[in-house]
Structure 1
């Protein structure tokens, strides 16, 4: 309920702000930038591209297929247009994401931290994207529930959700890595426990007898193996299909992304972008803000490590952060690319949970207002969200 209330506030402020500027809030949510590409894929399938004057080629193959598939399916069974179907999918997915974030945080740190984590995710400065016909909410929902499945030992569910996440965004590999890491840790712990238990039994066994070894039930091993094998199928399947379609082989998808000037350069392009901000005084403030934001993210991640955050979450979050910060993509879009990295909020959620209820409610309300205003201002701007 708290998450829904915050997002409703954001949508109301967006509607009022947009109306004052003579714009349609619904159009801003469903028919801008990425949402247009997803809608085109849902309606016409893949095969559309735009060649820019500078020679760059923007191909719709850069956009993973799960959101367009859901848009097409919902359009087929309802009177909704493809664009409006995408908005409904995103809104439902945002609620599922909030529930998944709560489940992960509650399992790891308790109910109060779970509630605070969801509210913090809802009041992020770019949280308005959670209510757009974009794929961030859908991906976050799948990732959160996959991580929860890992934390609770549901290997097949984790694998299936990871595969679906891999059909949603390129960063789906982060969920796959979390599944594989959890499987390796589980296997190592079993081997260690078996050796320890075997040694203990041998030490206490009567002379001339052997200590019985500890065996993990075969069904558990099979479920874990299935989860590991299923997890990469979504991302690998789409990337290989793109490679075959473009004739680029296994690296065809990277060629498609290069047409958008997207790639992984270790953060060099982003560092240059930030450095350029210091060429004049007004923009230097923005540069300082960007540096402060990156430092905060890294500090929160390190705090998670120090607080013993589950390894599955650390692996997932680390990859999401690395891909978002070290990619040579549109720099204005980096904040929304960080939305799926919700575990980085857990140290803040713990701090918020330690406050009295009245104080935490006041802090959350203030952040919700700031988020709503900033979201309306941002989405009414000219740059891509």
Structure 2
């Protein structure tokens, strides 16, 4: 009798092993894009469950009643600003308080995503509440395919799939299915980097123009492309840099630079105020734009006056060493330069706060570098589990609105 009982767990274990093996065999027979979309869709389902779980304990917020539905819950925070753009567009005059200071307004948010949803509404008739998050999720799925293709330029099919999974489970990846511009920007950035890696510089131009109308990443992209041109010219004896490629890459540099300025220029022409965009962007900070200084101030607030001033320098040194590590070098010079330019951009222009975590998403190629660290499934699985747990933390800590003692809450 005891022997029969002992066999049951082993039998169940074998059945599970057999089922998993059959499922794996079936999975590997699917086309690559079906594999990519299936894995990434599963990560979105996980994020959906996290949002539903956190929404169930959400109290009354500035956006509505307690325990909102999924679509109501993902429509808070900056989603509300994008909806205002979708409905009303942008103000002709920059709103100001009694002292003349710029107030928070729509000009801080780029137009491509809300205008895309408006166009889809014209065709489908669906309302923002449902159409915007579904559009963002669709853009995330497109991004997953493009990220896979980019990773395949540098890695095997298996490693590229792991890289896509890490991007999909990244702690802030839940934002890829809310009405933010992150998923659209991620798709355009992945497409631009893919074309650059393939040296299809002219084809990248229209993609970069659109990307610069989705989120403010044109400055680091233009800087990365400029340094890439210098690098390719400097190494032309070892790696031929034909005149036609030189001209095309130079054209991409010029267009990227002008595209980086497109949104501030549009805001200026529309409102008649030269600093309309920068004044609006810094309205959330409560102070003007000063390069690098916010990181020093944040460091001093955490570590004290001396250590705090040193901390950003040590952070920059650590980032530089990491970008020169063997695993990152395997990604290629184009990805190295983009990652370095974007990190420098964050260090120069960003006011460090809780939103900083979300702004790390454009560094998604480093997910493949994390895969390169070890071929061990135990290691890679552990990273995925850690990311999933941290995603729960991110949504519960930052997406759920809980009023602070002084008012407001930390933004996601």
Matched with 1:151 is 197
Q: Give the C-alpha shift of residue 336 in structure 1.
A: 0.7
**Distance in 2 between the 1:28 and 1:73 partners?**
23
1:41 and 2:63 aligned: no
Partners of 1:304 and 1:347 within 8 A in 2? no
Matched with 1:207 is none
Partners of 1:35 and 1:83 within 8 A in 2? no
Which stretch of the first structure deviates more once superposed, 221-230 or 136-145?
A: 221-230
Relative contact order higher in (CA < 8 Å, ≥ 6 apart): 1
Partners of 1:301 and 1:344 within 8 A in 2? no
CA displacement 1:207-253 (0-9 Å, x = unmatched): xxxxxxxx9475x566545534443453333222222233344x543
Report the CA distance shift for 1:370/1:334 in structure 2 as closer, same or farther (over 3 A).
Answer: closer
Which stretch of the first structure deviates more once superposed, 15-24 or 224-233?
A: 224-233
Q: Give the RMSD, CA atoms, in angstroms.
A: 3.3
CA displacement 1:238-292 (0-9 Å, x = unmatched): 222222233344x54323323333765343223323433468xxxxxxx99xx79
Q: Give the C-alpha shift of residue 366 in structure 1.
A: 4.7
* Unpaired segments ≥5 residues, structure 2: 1-37, 59-66, 402-408
**Distance in 2 between the 1:51 and 1:110 partners?**
54
Out of 253, 256, 263, which is 1:231 matched to? 256
Which stretch of the first structure deviates more once superposed, 251-260 or 339-348?
A: 251-260
Matched with 2:24 is none
Matched with 1:341 is 363
Matched with 1:92 is 138
CA displacement 1:361-384 (0-9 Å, x = unmatched): 354245324423542443113432
1:118 and 2:145 aligned: no
The alignment partner of 2:260 has SS state of: helix
Structural mapping, 1:230-379, within 5 Å? 230-249=255-274, 251-261=275-285, 264-277=289-302, 299=318, 302-307=321-326, 308=329, 309-327=331-349, 329=351, 331-352=353-374, 354-355=375-376, 357=377, 360-379=380-399
Matched with 2:39 is 2
Partners of 1:123 and 1:367 within 8 A in 2? yes
Matched with 2:109 is 63
Report the CA distance shift for 1:4/1:295 in structure 2 as closer, same or farther (over 3 A).
Answer: farther
The alignment partner of 2:361 has SS state of: coil
Matched with 1:206 is none
TM-score calculated relative to the size of structure 1: 0.78
1:75 and 2:121 aligned: yes
1:383 and 2:410 aligned: yes
**Distance in 1 between the 2:41 and 2:317 partners?**
29
**Distance in 2 between the 1:102 and 1:296 partners?**
29
**Distance in 2 between the 1:184 and 1:297 partners?**
23
**Distance in 1 between the 2:158 and 2:316 partners?**
22
Structural mapping, 1:115-264, within 5 Å? 115-190=161-236, 216=242, 223-224=248-249, 226-249=251-274, 251-261=275-285, 264=289
Which stretch of the first structure deviates more once superposed, 266-275 or 6-15?
A: 266-275
Q: Give the C-alpha shift of residue 158 in structure 1.
A: 1.5
Report the CA distance shift for 1:44/1:374 in structure 2 as closer, same or farther (over 3 A).
Answer: closer
1:11 and 2:48 aligned: yes
**Distance in 1 between the 2:178 and 2:237 partners?**
46
**Distance in 2 between the 1:278 and 1:121 partners?**
31
Q: Give the C-alpha shift of residue 147 in structure 1.
A: 0.7
**Distance in 2 between the 1:306 and 1:278 partners?**
28
TM-score calculated relative to the size of structure 2: 0.73
**Distance in 1 between the 2:134 and 2:163 partners?**
24
Q: Give the C-alpha shift of residue 42 in structure 1.
A: 1.9
Q: Give the C-alpha shift of residue 359 in structure 1.
A: 5.1
Q: Give the C-alpha shift of residue 133 in structure 1.
A: 0.8
The alignment partner of 2:104 has SS state of: strand
Partners of 2:102 and 2:279 within 8 A in 1? no
**Distance in 2 between the 1:43 and 1:359 partners?**
47
Displaced runs of 4 or more, over 6 A: 191-194, 294-298
